[in-house]
Amino acid sequence: MAARTALARGALAAAVLAWGAVHTAAPTVRHWHRGSGTTRSAGRLQVRVLPGPGDLVLVLLHGMAGSGDYFGDDFDALARHGTVVIPDLLGFGRSRLAVGAPTDAADHLAALDGMLLALGLAEKPLALVGHSMGSVLALRWAARRPAQVRTLVMLSAPLYLTPTEARERIAKMGLFEAALAGTGAAPRLACAAMCRFRRSAAVVATLILPQLPLRVATMAVQHTWTSYRTAMDQLIRDQSWQDAWALLEREGVPRVLGNGGRDPVPAPGRAESLVAASAASATGATAVLHYQPDANHHLPLSHGRWCADLVTTALASGPDRT
């Protein structure tokens, strides 16, 4: 018995050391620090606000199973250009409890509209920045108010043409992501377990996601099945982004795509084809693609300064649409 106990303790110590080694070495952990700003309610959403000069409002939208914490202190520098607003999207993070009835894409857009109205920023010029799911949401939101949008920056955008393509790309992220993105009873049961035992689920999330900062990993379980599934079906798997992209092209709204060279989520060649089509367009709109060769899907965590610089460059080079 004593020998087995000693062996178990040794195995546990080895596992802890291995987790610690992965965690501390991960670029996503080393380069991320919690962002500043004041957190408050704005309509149905909890938002973090960093005041800035002038009228410009920069809105940063996080990805699936994330929160506004994903945008760390590297993004604080954007407050030099205007007021920075970073919400926890409807049904996620601190806005998890705002969900009542089933949440669809229209609810997300309405919540963002309500956020700006509550903050007194509804008529201000906008710079929209989104990561992953948040980039698709930002694209569709920009299409609702194109005259206000000075630039749209989409990081790691999942721009898919079919649900099958979406499933195949998400599956390449890993077994955990593939399981939750699937159909059938398993994802629902997993999410139900997380909802019932949320504190335990937060601990488990930190253990199975050692490459993420602890705060980001624990917030990954702060969502509901409704918010997760509808976001997956109506934002990531849905092809309505094509209409929104075409509208912004016609309206001359500049768009910037930023991808990681090791990111399995963006469809191969999709961004390049969109940029090429924009270059051939007679509308005068621009779409630009930037690559960070060593980055994976967690681009804002591991390369936050690079992402923030993309926004700054887009603001400096884009036309004045205010």
Q: What CA–CA distance (Å, rounded) separates 90 from 231?
A: 10
CATH number at residue 85: 3.40.50.1820
pLDDT at 321 over 60: no
Percent of the chain with pLDDT over 70: 84
Higher pLDDT, 136 or 218: 136
- C-alpha atoms less than 13 angstroms from C-alpha of 56 in its C-beta half-sphere: 20
**Structural domain harbouring 228:** 31-317
With beta carbons less than 8 A apart as the criterion, state whether 295 and 262 touch.
Answer: yes
Closest by Cα among 307, 101, 130 to 112:
130
Inside any domain, residue 164: yes
Q: What is the pLDDT of residues 209-227, one digit of tens each?
A: 889 998 998 888 888 777 8
pLDDT at res. 194? 67
Residue 269 confidence (pLDDT) above 60: yes
Q: Give pLDDT, residue 36.
A: 96
β-pair type (83-88, 57-61): parallel
Inside any domain, residue 256: yes
- Does residue 11 lie within any of the structural domains? no
Query: Is the separation of the CB atoms in 38 and 78 below 8 Å?
Result: no
Mean pLDDT of the chain: 87
The number of folded domains in the chain is 1
CB 134 within 8 A of CB 117: no
Of 40-54, 98-112, 228-242, minimum mean pLDDT range: 98-112
Name residue 42's amino acid: A
pLDDT at 182 over 70: no
* Statement: residue 297 has pLDDT above 90: yes
With respect to residue 259, please indicate whether it lies within any of the assigned structural domains: yes
Q: At residue 41, what is the residue type?
A: S
Q: pLDDT by residue (tens digit) across 238-250?
A: 999 999 999 999 9
* Partners of residue 86 on adjacent β-strands: 48
3: CB partners within 8 A, 6+ apart: none
**Tokens describing residue 160:** 């898919």
- The pLDDT score that the predictor gives to residue 136 is 97
Q: Are 236 and 158 in contact (CB under 8 A)?
A: yes
Q: Is residue 7 in some structural domain?
A: no
Residue 104 in domain: yes
Q: Is residue 1 part of a domain?
A: no
Task: Return the exposure string of 162-171: e unless at least 16 CB atoms fall within 10 Å of the residue's CB, then b.
Answer: eeebbbebbe
What integer pLDDT is reported at residue 205 of this predicted model? 78
SS3 223: strand
Q: Where is average pLDDT lowest: 9-13, 54-58, 63-67, 181-185?
A: 181-185
What does the block give as tokens for 205?
A: 């999330």
> What's the pLDDT tens digit per position in 276-292?
999 888 776 788 999 99
**Torsion sign, CA atoms 148, 153, 156, 159:** positive
Task: Count how many Cα atoms sit within 13 Å of the Cα of residue 98 in the half-sphere of its side chain.
Answer: 24
Name the least confident of 152-156, 197-201, 203-207, 234-238: 197-201
Query: Does 6 map to a domain?
Result: no
